[in-house]
Amino acid sequence: MTFALAVSAASTPEFVRVSAPGRLHLGFLDPGASLGRRFGSLGLVVQGPRTRLELRLAGRPVVEAAPGIDPGELERAATHLAQVQAHTGLGRPLHLRLLEVLPPHAGLGSGTQLALAVGTAFARLHGLALGAPEVAQMLGRGLRSGVGIAGFEHGGLLLDGGPQADGRPAAVTSRLDFPERWRVLLVLDPARRGLSGAQEKQALAQLPPFPRELAAELCHRVVMQVLPGAAAADFGCFAEGLNRMQALLGGYFAPAQGGSSYTSPAVDALMRWIGRHGDAAIGQSSWGPTGFAILPSAEAAAALLRAARAAGAVAPGLQLQLVQGRNAGADLQILAASPAAACA
């Protein structure tokens, strides 16, 4: 891979800060590759949960994290930084500081967002003309889904067509603004972790072939209900399509999740309660344990949340966040040596 300089050395910044939003993986379209291309993903970028970091020039290498951040995330960030330095041959000392991270293995895209944040900060600091897809390919991200990569760049409600045959990340086939009035209730269970790495590969390998007729229905639901519903702010149409999509995929992946559509029993119970008592689109993001309920307004979301708490449907230990969809990608702040040259 060839890297082109985007700015001159004289104007190279000395400080870069990146804030990368979390995303929900709402489901695959064709896990079995019935038409030759596997996966295909629907995703939504959300406000709230995020990964933030700073990268600057330094006299000696430093990699550190704010208090409370999992040491494993710091190790992952250090590995990504070493990878981009090796790929580019640019090894001058840097100071990397993690300020905030998405919860790992929770279904919010923590791995991809951390990799893209590190790689993008490095590219901007060195004047390299690298977009998120190039950074993702360099760091081995986007092997199944491209919505985290596109979400980092653009935000919104995203659909991709599955990884490309030449190994490049999946190309986005649709990107829509998520209706501003709608709300997303995130349900996190810090006591659980979704599948990842070798466990994820093993789980996928043990599942039966995904039926072609179910893949056809998923595509039909997404193209004729989920996307048109979001485009027209028709919540009923959107919710019907997404609920059916989650039901089909939840049933298929249940054997890898202890026989349930949800990784966390506590999230499962709350999602089922919401399904019976609220006008919502519900499901699990990726392998979970994070569940979500999309609702037509802030008022409806607040009323549902009050009712759930009053009914005792929210188990101890669950963390609930009421957020909006995010129709923008990562925030990037670049500071040059002179304060007058600062730009965001």
- State yes or no: cis peptide before 289, omega within 30 of 0: yes
Mean pLDDT in residue range 22-48: 94
Higher per-residue pLDDT: 273 or 142: 273
- pLDDT-derived band of residue 73, with 50, 70 and 90 as boundaries? very high
Mean pLDDT in residue range 133-153: 89
pLDDT at 101 over 90: yes
Higher per-residue pLDDT: 205 or 190: 190
Q: Hey, where are the domains in the chain?
A: 13-177+327-341, 183-323
Residue 102: what pLDDT? 97
Higher per-residue pLDDT: 137 or 25: 25
Mean per-residue pLDDT of the chain? 91
In tens, the pLDDT along 269-324 reads: 999 999 999 899 999 999 999 999 999 999 999 999 999 999 999 999 999 999 99
- pLDDT-derived band of residue 214, with 50, 70 and 90 as boundaries? very high
Three-state DSSP state, 166: coil
Mean pLDDT in residue range 168-183: 94
pLDDT at 152 over 70: yes
Q: 144: which DSSP letter?
A: S
pLDDT at 3 over 60: no
Strand order in the sheet with 319-323: 281-284, 291-295, 183-188, 319-323
- pLDDT-derived band of residue 118, with 50, 70 and 90 as boundaries? very high
pLDDT at 7 over 70: no
Residue 12: what pLDDT? 63
Residue 37: what pLDDT? 87
Distance of alpha carbon 143 from alpha carbon 163, whole angstroms: 6
pLDDT at 5 over 70: no
CATH 3.40.50.300 is the classification of domain 13-177+327-341: no
Share of residues in the chain with pLDDT > 90 (%) = 81
Residue 337: what pLDDT? 52
Three-state DSSP state, 77: helix
Residue 6: what pLDDT? 35
pLDDT at 10 over 80: no
Residues 6+ apart with CB under 8 A from 36: none
In tens, the pLDDT along 80-96 reads: 999 999 999 999 999 99
Residue 202: what pLDDT? 86
Residue (of 179, 188, 189, 190) closest to 300 by Cα position: 179
Residue 9: what pLDDT? 39
- Lowest-confidence pick of 26-40, 234-248, 284-298: 26-40
pLDDT at 45 over 70: yes
C-alpha distances (whole Å) from 312 to each of 3, 138, 217, 303, 309 are 56, 47, 36, 14, 5
Residues 6+ apart with CB under 8 A from 284: 107, 246, 250, 261, 262, 263, 267, 271, 290, 291, 292
Neighbours of 321 (CB within 10 A): 15
Residue 344: what pLDDT? 39
Residue 11: what pLDDT? 52
The domain covering 183-323 belongs, at the CATH homologous superfamily level, to GHMP kinase, C-terminal domain (3.30.70.890)
